[in-house]
Amino acid sequence: AQSVTQLDSHVSVSEGTPVLLRCNYSSSYSPSLFWYVQHPNKGLQLLLKYTSAATLVKGINGFEAEFKKSETSFHLTKPSAHMSDAAEYFCVVRALNAGNMLTFGGGTRLMVKP
Amino acid sequence: DGGITQSPKYLFRKEGQNVTLSCEQNLNHDAMYWYRQDPGQGLRLIYYSQIVNDFQKGDIAEGYSVSREKKESFPLTVTSAQKNPTAFYLCASSIGQTNSPLHFGNGTRLTVT
């Protein structure tokens, strides 16, 4: 079975400071990993994906994530937060041994203070 | 522009009534999915379809039904048997390969009173 744990349900940062959203996964097969963002009453938008190529993945809006197999982590970072980054973020894993289905983390709500 | 369209955005129904949520995609994706999202929670899979005329139950299929008669369309019916239907419903589609992401619609918020 595969699982995803987002270690913080809420993260609060000041505008202009770095963002770190933590994600740990378990999967007995080489997984694909994704980060999505959801603004209120909207669908999920793909930020970035890891699919066994480069371990440091760059996404949209200045976000990036690093796949660390030894730590089974896929943390999302951004050097400088903007007010528009305030949203819910989901880490997602997908693997063949799980029937190719996606498993979602519980989400992290990012708040950005002016 | 290609994408996924969910309609309506807001839906209100009386308890005991069936209601159908629409999901249409023009991305030519084989796989389509329905998720339910409750406040402060992640997404839970209701049903998915990997090909036309075939669909599978997800983790919380009880009280829901779907059809996949066309590649572009995957409507979800919330039946009166669903005990707690008030939620935000998200439809998604994908190419179906392991490394392909899901593309999401903007959701339908269903309120049953």
Torsion of Cα atoms, B7 then B8 then B14 then B20, to 10°? -10
Chain B CB contacts of A96 under 8 Å are 98
Give tens-digit pLDDT for A30-74: 788 999 999 988 899 999 999 877 889 999 999 999 999 899 999
Residue A17 has pLDDT above 80, yes or no: yes
Inter-chain residue contact B41 with A90, CB threshold 8 Å: no
Residue A100 has pLDDT above 70, yes or no: no
Per-residue confidence at A29, pLDDT binned at 50, 70, 90?
confident
How far apart (Å, rounded) are the C-alpha atoms in residues A73 and A23? 6
Suggest the residue from B36, B47, B102 to mutate for an interface test with chain A (most A CBs closer than 10 A). Answer: B102
How far apart (Å, rounded) are the C-alpha atoms in residues A79 and A77? 7
Tokens 């519980």 sit at which residue? A106
Instruction: Return the percentage of chain A with pLDDT > 90, whole number.
Output: 74
Q: Is A114 exposed, middle or buried (0-12, 13-18, 19+ CB in 10 A)?
A: exposed
What pLDDT sits at residue B1?
59
Q: Give me the amino acid identity at B111.
A: T
What mean pLDDT, rounded, does chain A reach? 91
Cα B94 to Cα A44, B7, B31, B81, distances in angstroms: 13, 19, 5, 29
> Distance from CA of residue B96 to its chain's centroid?
16
What pLDDT sits at residue A51?
83
Residue B29 has pLDDT above 70, yes or no: yes
Residue B108 has pLDDT above 80, yes or no: yes
* Proportion of chain B in helix, strand, coil states, percent, rounded to 5: 0, 50, 50
Residue A99 has pLDDT above 70, yes or no: no
Inter-chain residue contact A43 with B102, CB threshold 8 Å: no
Chain B CB contacts of A32 under 8 Å are 98-99
